[in-house]
Structure 1
Amino acid sequence: MNKAQLGTALRALRQASGREAKSVARGAVMSASKLSKIENGRLAPSVTDVERILSALGVSEEIRREYVDAARAAATEATAWRHLKRIGADKGQRETQALEAQMTTLRLFQPALVPGLLQTPEYMRAVLLRHELSEDVLARTINGRLLRQHVLYAKGKTLRFVITEPMLRWRLLPPRMMAAQMDRILSASRLPHVDIRVVPQDARQTDIANHAFVIRDDRLVTVETVHAELVVTDAQDVELYVRKFENFAETALRGREMTSLLTECRDIFLREEETG
C-alpha cells in the first residue's frame, strides 16, 4: 500500500467497523471535513493523522503497523507555521494534546524557550504574541496549552526535559514573572515521573544545541524550525535525536544541583524586582 492509497484503505476500515465518520473524526481529534478529505484522497494524511484514526477505530496492532508503515513512506513532513496559524493555533494544541495522551514516554530538548508543558500563562502569552494572533485565538490557545499540562500528572507516563541554562536567563517577561516561571519549573520537577535537567553553560560539550525537538515513544520526533514544524518518523533518523538527547542529558545538572541553579536564577530575578 502506498501513501496515495491510504485514504481509500482507511475509509474501508471505518466502513467495516460500522462507525460513522463523525464519530471517528471526534475520536481522532480532527474535523469531519478533514477525515472526509483524507478518505477521498484529497488530502494526504500525516503519520499522526493515521495513528489517531487507527486509535479511534481500535484496530489490531498488526493492522496499525501496516498502515503506519505506509504513512512513513514520507519519513519527514513539514507544516509551515503560516498554515498552522491559518487553521488555528488553538486547534494545534488540541491535536498535540491527543498525541500526548496516547504516548507513554516523552523526551524534550529545548535550548531557546521554557517548554510549553512547563510554562506559566504569562510566559505562554509572551511566546505566542510573536505569532500575531487575535485576542480570542490567543486566549483559546493558552487555555489549550494549560489543558495539555494535565499530562504532567497522568499515571503511566515518563516525561523527561533537558533545557539549557541560557534559556532560563532569557528575559521574555518582567523580573517578577520570570521568578514565577522558575518556581513553576521547580514545582514540576518534584513530580515523581517528571525528570528535568539543565545543561550548564560552563560545561564542556561535544555536541551543538541546534534547535528544540520532542521525541515521543522513540518513534516520532517533532522539530521546531523558524518557518515550520517537522515530523520525523524514519527509525534511523529518530535514533539520531535519541542519541543527541541522551548526550545532553548526561552533561546536564539534575536533582539538587539542578534545583540550586533554578533557585539561583529565581533569586536573581526577585532581587531585580526589589531594586528595579
Structure 2
Amino acid sequence: MNRAQIGAALRALRVASGKEAKAVARSALMSPSKLSKIENAKMTADATDVERILTAIGVSDEVKAEYAEAARASVTETTAWRLLRRTGFHKGQQAVRALEAQMSTLRLFQPSLVPGLLQTPEYIRAVLHRHRLSEDALSRTINGRLERQAVLYDNTKSLRFVITEPVLRWRIVPPQMMAAQIDRIVSLSRLPHVDIRVVPLEIEQHDIANHSFVIRDDRMVTVETIHAEVVVTDPRDVGLYIKKFDGFEQSAVSGDDMRSLAEGIRDGFLRERETG
C-alpha cells in the first residue's frame, strides 16, 4: 500500500467502527488535524501512528496485523533531530509515552547514557542541554520525560535494561549528582518487574556495543543516531536486535551483584565530594 491507500483504509475502518475522528485522535494521543492529514494522504503515517490509530479504532487482531504490515513496507523510518526540534521534543515524549502505555515488554540496551526512564531530573537537563532548547521547551521536555517514568511502576509490564559500566562512570553531571543518579538506578532495580543489568568492563566480550536501541514487544526497535531517530519494524531486522540484546543480557551482572558494582562506583563519586 502507498500513503494514499493506507490513509483511505484507516478512514474506512474508522467510519465503519462508528467512531468520530476526534474520539479516535484523542485515544491515539494525536491531534484531530494530524489524523485528518493521515486519512487524506497529506501526511505519511509511520508504523507507530498506524498502530495507535488501529488500537483506538478497536479493530480485530487480524485486521490490525494486516494494516500494520502494510505500514512496515517502508521497513525503516528516519526522523531527523532537527525536525523533532522544530515540532517540539516534548511532543516526541508524548508520542513515546503513548507507545509505552500500549506495550507489555520493553528491552533497552544503552552503552553511553543512563536510559531516559531511569534518569534523574538533573541528568535529563544535562543530556538535553546539547539540543540548545529554550528554557520553556527544555522544561516541557523534562516534564514530559518525568511523566513517562510513571510506566516504571506499572507492574503489568516487563521492563528490562542492559547498560554498560561506562554509563555509570561517564560524567554527565557533577559527582554528587552522579551519585544520586546511581542511587536511583539501584532503587528502581528492586522493583520486581524491572530488571536492570550492567555489563562490567572486566568481562571479556564477544560482541560490540555499537549504539543504544529499544525493543518494544518484539515488533519495533527504536535506534538513536547522531542525526536522527530510526524506527525499525521489519521482523528480520528486529530479530537481529533481539539477538544482540540477549547476548549482552547474558554477559551482564544483575541483582545484588549489579547493585554492589553500582554502589562501588557511587561511593567513588561521594569520596570526590568529600575531598573536593
Same fold (TM over 0.5): yes
- Distance in 2 (alpha carbons) for counterparts of 1:72 and 1:238: 12
Counterpart for residue 248 of structure 1: 248
Instruction: Output aligned runs, 1:111-260, within 5 Å.
Output: 111-260=111-260
Choose 116-125 or 248-257, whichever is displaced more: 248-257
- Distance in 1 (alpha carbons) for counterparts of 2:19 and 2:254: 48
- For structure 1, the residue ranges without an aligned partner over 5 or more in a row are none
Quick one: structure 1 residues 13 and 19, their matched pair in 2 at CA, closer, same or farther if it must change by over 3 Å? same
- Distance in 1 (alpha carbons) for counterparts of 2:86 and 2:255: 42
TM-score (normalised: structure 1): 0.98
Please identify runs of 4+ aligned residues in structure 1 that moved more than 4 A.
none
Cα offset, 1:180, TM superposition: 0.2
Contact 1:219 1:235 in 2 (8 A): yes
Partner SS state of residue 72, structure 1:
helix
AA of the residue aligned to 1:241? Y
Partner SS state of residue 73, structure 1:
helix
Residues 227-271 of structure 1 show CA distances to partners (whole Å, capped at 9, x for unaligned) of: 000000011100000000000011111112111110011100100
Q: Is 1:47 equivalent to 2:47 in the alignment?
A: yes
Partner SS state of residue 187, structure 1:
helix
Cα offset, 1:203, TM superposition: 1.1
Cα offset, 1:4, TM superposition: 3.7
Choose 10-19 or 226-235, whichever is displaced more: 10-19
Partner SS state of residue 114, structure 2:
coil
Contact 1:197 1:254 in 2 (8 A): yes
Contact 1:3 1:73 in 2 (8 A): no
- Distance in 2 (alpha carbons) for counterparts of 1:101 and 1:124: 21
Counterpart for residue 86 of structure 2: 86
Partner SS state of residue 30, structure 1:
coil
- Distance in 2 (alpha carbons) for counterparts of 1:6 and 1:144: 30
AA of the residue aligned to 1:198? V
AA of the residue aligned to 1:121? P
Q: Is 1:273 equivalent to 2:273 in the alignment?
A: yes
Counterpart for residue 30 of structure 2: 30
- Distance in 1 (alpha carbons) for counterparts of 2:257 and 2:195: 13
- Distance in 2 (alpha carbons) for counterparts of 1:163 and 1:254: 11
- Distance in 1 (alpha carbons) for counterparts of 2:50 and 2:143: 26
Contact 2:3 2:41 in 1 (8 A): no
Instruction: Output aligned runs, 1:57-72, within 5 Å.
Output: 57-72=57-72
Counterpart for residue 264 of structure 1: 264
AA of the residue aligned to 1:51? E
- Distance in 2 (alpha carbons) for counterparts of 1:7 and 1:106: 29
- Distance in 1 (alpha carbons) for counterparts of 2:140 and 2:121: 12
Cα offset, 1:2, TM superposition: 4.1
Cα offset, 1:3, TM superposition: 4.3
Q: Is 1:5 equivalent to 2:2 in the alignment?
A: no
- Distance in 2 (alpha carbons) for counterparts of 1:18 and 1:139: 39
- Distance in 2 (alpha carbons) for counterparts of 1:227 and 1:65: 31
- For structure 2, the residue ranges without an aligned partner over 5 or more in a row are none
Q: How many residues align?
A: 276
- Distance in 2 (alpha carbons) for counterparts of 1:246 and 1:225: 21
- Distance in 2 (alpha carbons) for counterparts of 1:22 and 1:126: 37
Residues 132-176 of structure 1 show CA distances to partners (whole Å, capped at 9, x for unaligned) of: 111111111111111111111102110000000011100011111
- Distance in 2 (alpha carbons) for counterparts of 1:16 and 1:28: 17
TM-score (normalised: structure 2): 0.98
- Distance in 1 (alpha carbons) for counterparts of 2:48 and 2:133: 25
Across the aligned residues of Structure 1 and Structure 2, the Cα RMSD in angstroms comes to 0.9
